[in-house]
Structure 1
Amino acid sequence: MARRHGYSVRELKSGRWQVLLRDPETGRYFGAGSYADPKQAEVEGQRAAAEQAGGTWLDPRRGEVSLSDYMAGWLAARKATGQHGDRYASEAARMARLHVLPTLGPRLLVELRPPVIRAWYDALVARRVAAAGTPGLVPAKSYRLLSAVLNTAAHDELIRANPCTIPGAGVERSDERPLVEPDRIGDMVEALPERWQAMALTAAWCGLRFGELVGLQRRHVDLLHGTLSVERPVAEVEGRLVAKAPKSRAGRRKVTAPGPLVPVLEAHLARFGEPGPDGYVFVGPLGGMPRRSNWSTMWRKASAEAGLDGVTLHDLRHASGTMWAQLGATAREIQHRLGHGSPAAAHRYQHAAERRDRELADRLGALMDATSIAQPSRKKPQPGAGTGG
């Protein structure tokens, strides 16, 4: 084993080459990683020794904690400090348990290098494609969660840098959702039981989310001024329905209902709403709040009956945002109405409106082509013909 200034490199029985660094406090040497290529080991040793001399060295032993242990503490801290709401905390814990920790959990943080992360991600994508024919959203969400955890580890100086470096891996690429035309909204609503028709109409014309609709109480509905106040959406967390403040300030908002929707809500409250200011607006026949699972079963049956297979309640919210954009609303106005924390989603609705405008223009062009009046006359002018005189 040849010793250099501040480090040494030795060959292990496995054939790999180990870097040994000198601890500046004790003077003893300790293992700081092994490499298949002796030249790479030399480079890493030189880099570490130079960082020690320059005061920027990060002791790799700080990262000798398993991802499983570190991630458990990270998730608990985010939930305790309110950085993760109940619903996302439950979802993040589930993603970690099912998609991240089975492969990477036993690994030490210091062992999580870009090739390890890439192998895990590629295998996750391959499994999802084999199971469903498409990656779906799981790989992107799982990668984004892991990247956030390791970004904190880098800030805590447990690792040198975040090893999640795959371009675009955390970007969700959802399939294009169907755009529900305004005249089809009525078909969808009529296929629903009467008790739930006002809820679907409110999603379509006010753009509220499922949890926001379920959380509406009588005191949130101002029939005189035609407004709905979104204050305490309901989320399902580990089987329990929990009402709490929106996860962002943008989510807490007042939405103006279109005039024709107000009498619909008034009639609904008279027949189906719970009594009292804290009574819930949308409840089942026995007074229970709707759950996503029960709602989805009923909705799928109604959408099939209406000839709108695959359309979801959330698609009605998308329809609301798109119609708002088509009417000329600015990105900020769409952002406020739909309760988005950033204008990025609002821009998507504007782009959807532009695509719809292009489709309508193309249809108009086809109509023009089919009519003789669309084409200017190509007859040659007769000799001596003029415009006046």
Structure 2
Amino acid sequence: MANKGGHRRFGNMRRLPSGRYQVRYPGPDGLPRTAPETFARKGEAERYLSIVEAQLARHEWVDPDRAKIRLQDYAERWISHRPNLRPRTVALYTWLLGRYVTPYLGGVPLGRLDTPMVREWRATLLGNGVSATMTAKAYRLLRAVLMTAVNEDELIRKNPCRIPGADQEKASERPVLNMAQVFALADQVGERYRALILVATFGCLRWGEVAALQRQDINASTGVNRVRQAFTELRGVGMVLGPPKSRAGRRAVSVPAAILPVLRAHLGRCVGEGPDALVFTGPNGAAIRRGNFNKLTKWSAAVAAIGAAGLHFHDLRHTGNTLAARTGASTKELMARMGHDSAQAALIYQHATAEADRAIAEAVNDAVKAEQRRGKKAPKRERKRRGDPDDGAAGMLAKVS
């Protein structure tokens, strides 16, 4: 039989036959609770009771029995209960969980997760060759799941995902095509897909958005395209037609008048007469699957031919966004065109064009300084022979510098 230890004002402890100390205390509902672990020393048990007493006083106490749920079970429930998740997002979260989280941490109770354990998990992923991008995605998912456990379900007191920079993806800078390359690519992919390249680029459209355009969405006179829906490809399901990526994804986007002749020719040659006829289809008239597009257009050869080997289809939207930002459009205008709820993406493009503008100014400044140096080196009589005043424009520039 266990030996009872001393009593205290809050809770009590007893020494077990093993020599370790077991702690019990009343929860906020008055019912007795047992600490989830035993303690080697009496002082450790005393400190635990003091901490619990303080947490109860500050209303920060979390029932350790509720935190015994396994991470895998909680995360799967989290995904199924999240409101307004698009099917593709559900598929992505489920895949990330099963591939990168569950095999390592799935059996760990929430209450036992801590920052060193999360840090070790992340290091293991990277050590096993998982890319920094995928590791960051898995980390963000885990952090979001555990944030709900802290703030909404109150299963744990704090989120153990506290690793600076672990959520950041350091993706390489994607290429931006120039105007000549855009039109050259449109020619390279063939007549059936020429308009698709131009509309996707100059309309700043995502793949799912451009693939879901219907005849009723296109105004071939004004160049206004309505984005009402988008295709999503789900593994094991196929093409699913649904709303755009976000609320801001529903928008009207104008394309340049210069590409309207190509668009009109495409509508007359490749698109059915009904209002719901898809604008861009494969040779059999069905919606184009993203995985088939590269084969249909001989994409690798096409992008190599224009000097942009390795270009991704999404880089066309990146190109369109960059061209739009260079026009001096406001953040709100760029957000509306790109279909973003957040200003973050628009600000990135504006920052990039601001940097380009500064680079131009610096290049001009270098040219001015070079001219100043040439002017100073020229003999005075040579400047007089040319009719240059001693203290003219070049002199003023020299003084300013």
TM-score by length of 2: 0.84
Q: Distance in 2 between matches of 1:376 and 1:188?
A: 46
**Which of the pair has more CA radius of gyration?**
2
Q: Please, what is the CA RMSD of the aligned residues? A: 3.0
**Which residues in structure 2 correspond to 1:229-308 (within 5 Å)?**
229-239=226-236, 240-297=238-295, 298-308=298-308
Partner in structure 2 of residue 327 of structure 1: 327
Identity within the alignment, %: 35
Amino acid at match of 2:139: Y
Amino acid at match of 2:77: G
Q: Is the 8 A contact 1:19 1:42 kept in 2?
A: no
- Aligned-residue offset at 1:356: 2.8
- Aligned-residue offset at 1:20: 2.3
**Which residues in structure 2 correspond to 1:54-93 (within 5 Å)?**
54-78=58-82, 81-82=83-84, 84-93=85-94
C-alpha change, 1:198 and 1:7, in structure 2 (3 Å) is farther
Q: 292-301 or 353-362: which moved more?
A: 353-362
C-alpha change, 1:323 and 1:283, in structure 2 (3 Å) is same
Q: What is the CA deviation profile of residues 256-286 of structure 1, one whole-angstrom value per residue up to 9, with x for unaligned ones?
A: 1111122211111111123310000000110
Q: Is the 8 A contact 1:8 1:45 kept in 2?
A: no
Partner in structure 2 of residue 22 of structure 1: 25
Amino acid at match of 2:247: R
Q: Distance in 2 between matches of 1:375 and 1:11?
A: 92
Q: Distance in 2 between matches of 1:120 and 1:100?
A: 8
Q: What is the CA deviation profile of residues 231-280 of structure 1, one whole-angstrom value per residue up to 9, with x for unaligned ones?
A: 01111112411111123221000001111122211111111123310000
Q: Distance in 2 between matches of 1:117 and 1:363?
A: 48
Partner in structure 2 of residue 159 of structure 1: 156
- Aligned-residue offset at 1:182: 2.0
TM-score by length of 1: 0.86
Q: Is the 8 A contact 2:23 2:38 kept in 1?
A: no
- Aligned-residue offset at 1:167: 1.8
C-alpha change, 1:225 and 1:86, in structure 2 (3 Å) is same
Q: Is the 8 A contact 1:7 1:46 kept in 2?
A: no
SS at match of 2:232: strand
- Aligned-residue offset at 1:351: 1.7
How many residues get paired?
Answer: 376
Q: Distance in 2 between matches of 1:88 and 1:42?
A: 47
SS at match of 2:122: helix
Amino acid at match of 1:350: Q
* 1:210 aligns to 2:246 (yes or no): no
C-alpha change, 1:136 and 1:188, in structure 2 (3 Å) is farther
User: Quick one: which of 128, 136, 140 aligns to 1:140?
Assistant: 136
Q: 33-42 or 50-59: which moved more?
A: 33-42
Amino acid at match of 1:183: A
- Aligned-residue offset at 1:299: 2.0
Q: Is the 8 A contact 1:9 1:41 kept in 2?
A: no
Q: Distance in 1 between matches of 2:234 and 2:281?
A: 19
Partner in structure 2 of residue 117 of structure 1: 118
Partner in structure 2 of residue 6 of structure 1: 11
* 1:49 aligns to 2:47 (yes or no): no
- Aligned-residue offset at 1:345: 0.3
Unaligned stretches of 5+ in structure 1?
Answer: 130-134
